[in-house]
Amino acid sequence: MTIQTSSRSRRIFGGWSANVAQLLLALTQQIVLIPLFLRFWQGDTLSAWFTIFAAGNLVLAADPGLHVWSLNRFLSFKSQANCDRRTDRYYGAISRLFLGFAALLFLVLVAVYACVAPSQLLGFTGEPNFDSAFELMTLGLVLTLPGNLAAALYRARARYGRVAGIQAWGLAIGQVGQIFGIIVTGSLLAVVVAFVVGQVMATCYLMLDVRQQFPFVTKLRGVGSWRWRISQLQNALPFSVTNFAEVGLSYLSVLLIGFFVSDRVAIAQWGLTRTIINLLRGICYQISAPLAAELGHDHVIGARASLERLYIRGSIILVLFASAATSGLLAFWTDFFAVWTHGAIAYHGTLSILLLLGTCLASPAILAWAYANYSNRGPLLLRAKLAQLLIFLVLSVVLIPWLGPLGAAIAMVSSDIIAQSGFLSVVIVSETLKHPVRYALSLLAIMVAIVPSGAALGELIKHLLPGSGLLHLIAECTLWLIVVALAASPLAIRGIRDRVIAAIPSWSMT
Q: pLDDT tens digits for 374-423?
A: 887 878 888 888 888 899 989 988 998 888 888 888 998 999 899 888 88
DSSP string, 128-196: TTHHHHHHHHHHHHHTTTTHHHHHHHHHHTT-HHHHHHHHHHHHHHHHHHHHHHHHHT--HHHHHHHHH
> How many folded domains does the chain comprise?
2
Query: 416 Cβ partners below 8 Å, 6+ apart?
Result: 358, 362, 365, 388
Amino acid residing at 234: Q
- Residues 174 and 286 reside in one and the same domain: no
Does pLDDT of 433 surpass 80? Answer: yes
Between vectors from CA 14 to CA 12 and to CA 18, what angle results, nearest 5°?
Answer: 120
- Residues 205 and 266 reside in one and the same domain: no
Amino acid residing at 264: R
Does pLDDT of 200 surpass 90? Answer: yes
H helices of 1-82, in order, are 2-27, 33-40, 43-60, 66-77
> Distance between CA atoms of 324 and 322, rounded to whole angstroms?
6
Model confidence band, residue 190 (pLDDT cutoffs 50, 70, 90): very high
H helices of 214-303, in order, are 226-243, 249-260, 264-301
The mean pLDDT of 187-191, rounded to a whole number, is: 92
Q: How many residues does the chain have?
A: 510
Window from 328-332, 429-433, 467-471 with minimum mean pLDDT: 467-471
- Residues 188 and 282 reside in one and the same domain: no
Q: What is the pLDDT of residues 236-246, one digit of tens each?
A: 888 888 777 77
Does pLDDT of 134 surpass 90? Answer: yes
> Distance between CA atoms of 193 and 135, rounded to whole angstroms?
11
Instruction: Please indicate, yes or no, if residue 250 is contained in any of the structural domains.
Output: no
Listed residue (161, 278, 151, 142) closest to 199, CA to CA: 142
Query: 154 Cβ partners below 8 Å, 6+ apart?
Result: 160, 162, 163, 210, 213
> Distance between CA atoms of 507 and 313, rounded to whole angstroms?
10
Number of other residues whose CB lies within 10 A of the CB of residue 214: 18
Query: 29 Cβ partners below 8 Å, 6+ apart?
Result: 171, 174, 175
Instruction: Please indicate, yes or no, if residue 9 is contained in any of the structural domains.
Output: no
Give me the domain span that covers residue 371: 262-510
- Residues 292 and 171 reside in one and the same domain: no
Model confidence band, residue 507 (pLDDT cutoffs 50, 70, 90): very low
Amino acid residing at 435: H
User: For the chain, what is the radius of gyration of the CA atoms?
Assistant: 23
Does pLDDT of 7 surpass 80? Answer: no
Instruction: Please indicate, yes or no, if residue 53 is contained in any of the structural domains.
Output: yes
> Distance between CA atoms of 52 and 121, rounded to whole angstroms?
13
Q: Which of 177, 196, 224 finishes a domain?
A: 224
Q: Which of 224, 252, 275 finishes a domain?
A: 224
- Residues 57 and 106 reside in one and the same domain: yes
> Distance between CA atoms of 125 and 191, rounded to whole angstroms?
19
Query: 418 Cβ partners below 8 Å, 6+ apart?
Result: 387, 388, 391
H helices of 342-469, in order, are 349-374, 378-403, 405-415, 425-432, 436-464
Contacts 24+ apart (CB under 8 A), 300-307: 300/75, 300/76, 300/78, 300/79, 300/375, 301/79, 307/432
- Residues 97 and 149 reside in one and the same domain: yes
Instruction: Please indicate, yes or no, if residue 342 is contained in any of the structural domains.
Output: yes
The confidence score (pLDDT) of residue 50 equals 83
The confidence score (pLDDT) of residue 111 equals 94
Residue 61 CA, chain-centre distance (Å), reads: 11
The mean pLDDT of 314-338, rounded to a whole number, is: 89
- Residues 189 and 79 reside in one and the same domain: yes
The mean pLDDT of 355-379, rounded to a whole number, is: 87
The confidence score (pLDDT) of residue 455 equals 92
Residue 405 and residue 266 in contact, taking contact as beta carbons nearer than 8 Å: yes
> Distance between CA atoms of 286 and 19, rounded to whole angstroms?
7
- Residues 392 and 465 reside in one and the same domain: yes
Instruction: Please indicate, yes or no, if residue 235 is contained in any of the structural domains.
Output: no
- Residues 331 and 395 reside in one and the same domain: yes
Q: What is the pLDDT of residues 105-129, one digit of tens each?
A: 999 999 999 998 898 888 788 888 8
Output 259 or 495, whichever has higher pLDDT: 259
- Residues 170 and 316 reside in one and the same domain: no
- Residues 215 and 310 reside in one and the same domain: no
- Residues 320 and 197 reside in one and the same domain: no
Model confidence band, residue 491 (pLDDT cutoffs 50, 70, 90): low
Model confidence band, residue 180 (pLDDT cutoffs 50, 70, 90): very high
Answer yes or no: pTM beyond 0.85.
Answer: no
Number of other residues whose CB lies within 10 A of the CB of residue 139: 17
